[in-house]
Amino acid sequence: MTSTINEVESNPDETEPLPAKKPGWRKLMASLGNRKTAYMLLFGFASGLPYTLLLSTLYAWMSDAKVDLETMGVFSLIGLAFAFKFLWSPLLDRIDLPGIKRLGHRKQWIVTAQMLLAVVLIFVSRLDPAGAIGVLSLLAGLGAFASATQDVVMDAWRVDVADEVATIDILSTVYQLGWRSAVLVGGALALFMAERTGWPTVYAIMGGIMLVIAIAAIFAPEPEQTTASLTADDDALRGLREAGQLSPRIRGWALTIVGVLWAWALITVGNFMYRSLSSAPGARPDSVEFIQNMGPVIVVATVVVPVIVAAILENWRRKGRHVLNGTVTKHGAIDSFVDQGYRALILPLTEFVGRLGWAVVIVLTLVLTYRFTDTVWGSFAYPFYLGELEYSKDEVAIASKFFGVGALMLGIALGGALFSFIGRMPVMFIGALTAALSNLLYADLALGGHTMAAVANFTGFASLVEWFGGDLRLAKLMVAIAGENLAGGLAGAALVAYLSSITAKGYSAVQYALLSSLTFLVGTLGRGALGQMIDEQGYYPVFILTTLLGFIAVVFCVIEWVRQARLGQRAGVVAPG
C-alpha cells in the first residue's frame, strides 16, 4: 500500500517548491470571472467582518463607554482563538454535523460558523460594554472561536476548489481583497454609522449582514475532492499500522504529551482572562507579571515542546527505533483513537520538522515574530486616535479606514509586484524592516506629530487635505497611517506567500492553520502588558519598544534568506526568494 504517510515521508529532504509559471492575462480574466472566485471574495469579506468588529471596532465602542485600557488589553485575549485555531482544525476535517452534512463537508462548517457569528453580533448589540463586560467577553470569545473556525475551513475550501481556471494564487488574492473590503464596512462605515445612530444599531445591522452571507454560502460550490481527501486519510490511518511505522504505544505517549500541554495552555490563559475581567481594576492579577512569567512558558508548551517531540519521533522512525516489525491488522477502539489523533495533530508536525530539520528553529522564530508589531498594537489604535489624540470618529474613519485601507491595498499590490522582480525573501525582509520602522511614525504623533506635519507640508499633502475640507492636524494623522498601512500591506503579502511555500501539500490545512496561528500568538499574549505599560508610561515608550522588538523579525529574515539561497545553490537552481 502506498499511503499518504509514506508518500510524504519518502522525501524528507524535499526543498520548497519553485514558483509557479505566470498565468497570463487570459487565464487571469477567466479566473476573475469564475463562480468560485466570486464566492472566495464573499468568504474573504465574511472572514474580515467579524474579526474587525470583535477585535478592532469594538474597542472604539468600549472607549466611548469609558472602559479602561488595561481591561481592553485583557479583553483582547479573545484573539487567542485565532492563535490556537490549529488545535481544532483537524476535527473540522474529520467530523460531520448531524442534519446539515448534506450541505457538503466544508460548507456545513462555514454556514454554521457564520450563523453563529450573526447571532453573537445581534446579542452584542443589546449589551452595555461598561456594565456587562463579563457577558460581552463571553459572547466576543464565542464569536472569535466561530470566526477562527470559519477561517480554518475557508482556507481548506480555497485549497480544495482551486483548479487551472480559479488558481490558488488568484483565490488567495481575491480573499485578501474581500477581507480588506470588510475592514471598510466593519471599520469606517461602522464608525460613521455609530456617530449618527449609535453602536447598538451598528452591531445589529452587521449581524444581519452575516446572516445574509450565511444564507448565500449555502449555494457555494462544494469541493469535488473532499471525499477523495477523506479516503486518502483513511489510507493514511491504515498506513500507520504497517511495518516501519512507530509503535502505537510511542504514538500514544506523544499524543498525550502534546494534548496535555495544549489543554494546559488554554486553561491557563482562560483562567487569567476570567480573573482579570471579573475583578475590580484594583484587584486584577498583574498583566505584566503574567506575561513575563507565563508568556514564555505558554510558547514553550504549545510550540517548542511539540516541535521537540516531533523531532524525536522523526529521528526514531528514520533510525528504525520503536517501530513495528510487521503489519498490525487488529486493533481496538483506543488504538483507533490514538491513530486518529496522531494522524490529525502529530503527523503534520513530524513531516514539517523532518523536511526542514534544524531550520525549523529559524522558520518558527520568524513566523512567531514577523507580525508582532501589528498584532500587539492593533487593539490600542482606536484608544490612541480617539482618546489620546482626541480625533473624532469621522476623522478616524477617513484617515484609518478609507485612506488607510487604500494604502494597505497599495502595499499588497506592491508586494505582489516585487515578487516578480526581486523574489520572496527580499520582500519578506523589506516588509519586516518597514513594519518595524513604521512604529516611529506613531511615536512622532504621540509627541505632537511635528515630523508628520513637516512631511505633509513638504509634499503638498496638507494643502490637498485642506482643499477637501480637512486641516493639518488630520493630514499628519493620514500620513502616519498611510506609512504604517503601506508597510503592513507589503509585509502581509510577503508572509502569505512565505507560509504557502513552506507547507507540504499533503498537510497544508493543518500546517497552514498552525503557522498562521503562530503569527498571532506572541502579539496577542503581549497586549495585556502593553495596555498596562500605556496606562503607566504613555504611548511614546511603547512605540519605541515595539520598533526595537520588530527588528527580531528583521534579523531572522536575513538568516532565512541566506538559508534558502544556500538551499537553492545545493539543488543547482536559483532559489525562489
pLDDT at 552 over 80: yes
Nine-digit cell at 195?
456617530
Return the sign of the alpha-carbon dihedral for residues 504, 507, 511, 516.
Answer: positive
- Name the residue with cell 452584542: 124
The average pLDDT across 501-510 equals 69
pLDDT over 90 (residue 45)? yes
Which residue has cell 456594565?
Answer: 131
Residue 521 pLDDT exceeds 60: yes
SS3 call for 393? helix
Asked whether 343 and 255 are in contact (CB, 8 A), the reply is no
Mean pLDDT across 236-254: 78
pLDDT at residue 19 greater than cutoff 50 = no
Amino acid symbol at 323:
V
Domains 27-225 and 371-577 share a fold: yes
Domain ranges of the chain: 27-225, 240-349, 371-577
420 vs 7, which has greater pLDDT?
A: 420
Phi-psi region of 423 (alpha: psi -120 to 50; beta: other; left: phi over 0): left
Give tens-digit pLDDT for 261-313: 888 887 887 787 777 766 666 677 776 677 667 777 887 888 788 888 988 98
Set of cell numbers at residue 576: 525562489
Is residue 499 within 8 A of residue 17, CB to CB? The reply is: no
Res 20 pLDDT > 60 = no
Alpha helices in 10-88 (DSSP H): 24-32, 35-52, 58-64, 69-75, 80-83
For residues 305 and 303, what is the distance between their CA atoms, to the nearest angstrom?
A: 6
- CATH topology for 371-577 is Growth Hormone; Chain: A; (1.20.1250)
Kindly report, residue by residue over 136-188, the tens digit of the pLDDT. 888 888 899 899 999 888 877 877 776 666 666 667 777 877 887 898 888 87
Confidence of residue 6 (pLDDT cuts 50, 70, 90): very low
Most confident of 123-127, 261-265, 396-400: 123-127
Listed ranges 55-64, 161-170, 343-352, 494-503; the one with the highest mean pLDDT? 55-64
Instruction: Check: pTM over 0.85? Answer yes or no.
Output: no
* Percent of the residues in the chain that have a pLDDT greater than 70, as a whole number: 81
pLDDT tens-digit profile of 185-212?
Answer: 888 789 889 888 989 999 999 999 999 9
What was the pLDDT predicted at 512?
Answer: 74
Given a contact cutoff of 8 angstroms between Cβ atoms, the answer to whether 174 and 40 are in contact is yes
CB atoms within 10 A of CB 86: 23
Residue 528 pLDDT > 80, yes or no?
no
Q: What is the pLDDT of residue 27?
A: 55
Q: Which candidate, 59, 68, 60, 73, places its Cα nearest to that of 392?
A: 60
408-444 confidence digits (pLDDT tens): 888 877 776 676 677 778 888 999 999 899 889 989 9
Domain at 27-225, CATH homologous superfamily: MFS general substrate transporter like domains (1.20.1250.20)
Rounded to an integer, the average pLDDT of 303-325 is 86
> The C-alpha cell of 545 is what?
519598544
pLDDT of residue 382: 76
| Average pLDDT over the chain, rounded to an integer | 79
Longest dimension (CA), the chain: 80
DSSP track, 88-127 = THHHHHH-PPTTTGGG-TTHHHHHHHHHHHHHHHHHHTT-
